[in-house]
Chain A
Amino acid sequence: MADKQTKPADDDAAQPKLLGLLAQFPDADELVTGARSITDAGYRRVEAYSPFPIVAVDDALRAKKTILPWFVFFCGASGCLIATLMVWWTNATETTVPFSGYAFRISGKPYFSYQANIPIVFELTILLSAFGAFFGMLGFNRLPRLSNPLFRNERFQQVTTGGFSLMVDADDPTFDYDAVSAALTSAGATFVEPIYAETEGLRVPGALFVPGAIVAVLALIPPLWIAASASGRSELPRRTIWYDMDFQPKFKTQTVAPSSLFADTRAMRVAVPGTVSRGSLREDSEYYQGINPDTVAGVPRRGAQFASYLAEDEPASDDGNADEENAEGERADPAAQPAPEPEPNWVTEFPKEFKVSQQAAERGRERFNIHCAACHGKGGFGDGLIALRARELQQSTWVPPSNIHTDEVIQQPVGKLFATISNGIRKMPGYKEHISVEDRWAIVLYVRCLQRSQNAAKSDVPEETLKEIQQKNQPAVAAEAAADESPAKKEPPK
């Protein structure tokens, strides 16, 4: 099957087109020397073939450097850009256009930051660069090219094993069969032979292309039709690809299940006897909520909220967002609220589970200084470090913490104070997850102590303490001490 012609062919009309002259060389060094002498002779369309890359032959052939690195760089830069845009579009934007992104916040982190996206951007940069290198290599080499007249030459088949060949193209402007043949022989070639274009071989009949294309297009229709009918907006029943995704066998709570499933036809099962659900043991509302039990059932928190929703529906009471706050919460500005919700019946005495004692007050002071003083200040005047800092920065959204020494707070029953600590108020968060019930009552006690300390009469101070204070103050500011209701040592009420 190989063309074994070694002599110049006759000028026959049937002779196929001459492509060039192929010469064999014994080894890599001879190939380089031969290539150099051929290019020195003025031939430019020369190509060397070898089983492994020979660096010196590029110079001998006077070959230009490849621009592949620039192509790879361009691909890598595109990968970087595409990845950045993709991450930004899909995770940081949200519009109404088709294929819109979906902006969702994770752990309070920004929607878009380059740090979190380095891995994705890096990987896509590498991926597209690698595609550039691989497909660029094929493209610049015009591969794949499965048919090549050289492959029919028996000697050329030795190239990939251990042959070294040089081919002078017939397209070369100075190509002359005898001159080139002589030049190659004198350059050290062991064998020179002509290569002709292929004249025979199997070809795909052209008539097959059109039917082939039609079949290929028709084959696309069924999957596209299924995809369209599974997601379209047709009024006909939707065709499903994943049946168990569209129709999931399940019963929702509060629905009726077939009696074959459960005898009582309830989809939601009642709790197993003896189950204790979370928080269900906290029935003592005085201790756990600060509300007298007789009113809990009447106006519980949820009930009050529900009542306010009903009121909102009526056109007469146009009170907007009046029910935003908890029912037991105090109002920032009560006058602005047209329809204050009914207050629960707060307990006014400390519940019996909580023992009022000096120890408890000390515990309360400790907890107050840990949890409350940062905003409310150690004295409760609403001058904690955070409050001071916020005032200094003139934070517009900052709601100043309450001063517990105002009449309004002093008049609040202990139950309400307890509820405020537990559930929060305005911007203040609830602390029931952080502070135990016992400790919350201790803080209430300490708040009462603080309030008492600022509003104590001289008669509240025990005789001995009063004397001590007077003795201390006498030498320095006797006059002041006499005028002032001297600050009393805090003491638990009752």
Chain B
Amino acid sequence: MTTAVWDEPNLVQGDQTYQTITDTVCRIAENPRPPLAWFIAFAISSSIAGVFGLLIGYLLITGTGIWGNNNPVAWGFPIVNFVFWVGIGHAGTLISAILFLFRQNWRTSINRFAEAMTIFAVVCAGTFPGIHIGRMWMPYYLAPYPSSGLYMWPQFRSPLAWDVFAVGTYATVSVLFWFMGMIPDLATLRDRAKHPIRRVAYGVLSLGWTGSATQWRVYEKAYMLLAALATPLVLSVHTIVSYDFATAQLPGWHTTIFPPYFVAGAVFSGFGMVLTLIIPAREWFGLKDLVTMRHLENICKVLLATGSIVGFAYITEFFIAWYSGNQYEQFAFMNRAFGPYSAAYFTMFLCNVISPQLFWFKWFRQNPWAMFVVSIFVNIGMWCERYVIVVTLSRDFLPSSWGVFTPTPIDIAMLIGSFGLFFTLFLLFCRFLPIVAMSEVKHVLNHEKNHPHEIIEA
């Protein structure tokens, strides 16, 4: 008599040793001639990033009139892009911190990747409010610095001040978490480096890490504490971002569903972006043994779960609008779905709610091409979601103050430009830093060698 046994595929596939893992990962950063695809991608994305820089310069000289922001929709594209990019960042911290706390070993091969994505996404996110503050050469006004003679402080009861603290803390903690995770791997790169400049650069970055048991002991504790701190932090960030909207007394915004719905949406969009990045990266950099189909399948399942939560939230919003009996709320939602921006609304609904449902079928969870297409849909859908929420401003209480928001070409160019910045940073990361957490993968490998998966027949 045989019983069915849960047979998990190995997280590290192929005949791997510590040496082969190190070689696979370090080769990417050490290779003097990266693949041609890297150069092409870098040339494209860095020129787009350069255009972004030029547009910011144009904005500095000319002013925010170059954007489509107008009187009802005072926030426009900058806030849409800000919320979109902050949301992308969430998957990185979620994979690194929350899955670490839940002892999900499958995170180890993708967490570095996702953390880097978090940081670059937060860089892009921080750019938009940074250039939207009017006098953008005085960003230090956001900080509570003691100014002599001015007696001026931030207004700490404002959600916009909360945003500064939330996103600032998030960026700082993400960088610390990312960098601390990289220290042992940077030490590996240091020890393998031949060229003196590389040796010094990696030597300084690895801070003199030796891998002693004392160091590992403190390091493991610190890493666990940082994960435990990052977990509530990541949930708080998009909650506070949603307060920007939810504390405003506007129909369609003033709802208590916003914090959980924003957090679920952020995780959803972040995992979508992880998929978008990791499918080509594992192909180009030969990481298929470390980032296995099981990893991709797990990401798809997270997308399915969070996408369903987001869909549920959309429907709940409509139900509550009807149930509240508030005609302004009802109008706001009817206007979202059937007003002048209905195309964005239905794109959002199709991309965010319908497309991840394909992941119920195993074929879609096993096919990288299908996954890639869905992940692009998710990215588009989540951008549209923020757009739909923000342009709700165009029709509030008084028809006399209604207006229509139309993005200018500069708006669109800056959105594309932020992608250029993101991919430029990401390609540089892939080129020079360890893109897979080697020490953690070796830990998993050691664990799997000692506890091999056996098909038990009884």
Contacts and interface: CB of A to CB of B under 8 A. Distances in A.
A72 B223 CA distance: 12
A21 B82 CA distance: 56
Contacts of B58: none
B211 A51 contact: yes
B19 A162 contact: yes
Contacts of B236: 119, 122-123, 126
A196 to B, nearest CB: 17
A41 interface: no
A53 B154 CA distance: 44
Contacts of B439: 51-53
A28 interface: yes
A225 interface: no
A109 B157 contact: yes
A265 interface: no
A81 interface: no
A49 interface: yes
B207 A63 contact: no
A324 to B, nearest CB: 31
Nearest to B215: A141
B155 A126 contact: no
Nearest to B165: A123
Nearest to A51: B442
A63 B173 CA distance: 29
Q: Interface majority SS on B: helix, strand, loop or mixed?
A: helix
Interface residues of A, number: 66
Given A160-B184, A162-B17, A162-B22, A126 B156 contact: no
A356 to B, nearest CB: 34
Contacts of B204: 144, 146
A5 B143 CA distance: 57
B188 interface: yes
B191 A140 contact: no
Interface stretch (B224-232, B311-319, B386-394): B224-232
Contacts of B168: 123, 127
Nearest to B180: A134
12 contacts: A51-B438, A53-B443, A63-B214, A91-B153, A91-B155, A138-B207, A141-B219, A143-B208, A144-B204, A146-B207, A162-B17, A162-B22
Interface of A: 28-29, 47-54, 57-58, 61, 63, 66, 68-69, 72, 86-87, 90-91, 98-102, 104, 106, 109, 116-117, 119-120, 122-124, 126-127, 129-131, 133-134, 136-138, 140-141, 143-148, 150-151, 157-162, 231, 242, 245
Interface of B: 17-19, 22, 135, 137-138, 144, 146, 148-149, 151-159, 161-162, 165-166, 168-169, 172-173, 176-177, 180, 184, 187-188, 190-192, 203-204, 207-222, 225-226, 229-230, 232-233, 236, 240, 243, 438-440, 442-443, 446, 450
Given A66-B221, A98-B148, A137-B219, 5 more contacts: A47-B214, A136-B222, A143-B209, A159-B191, A161-B192
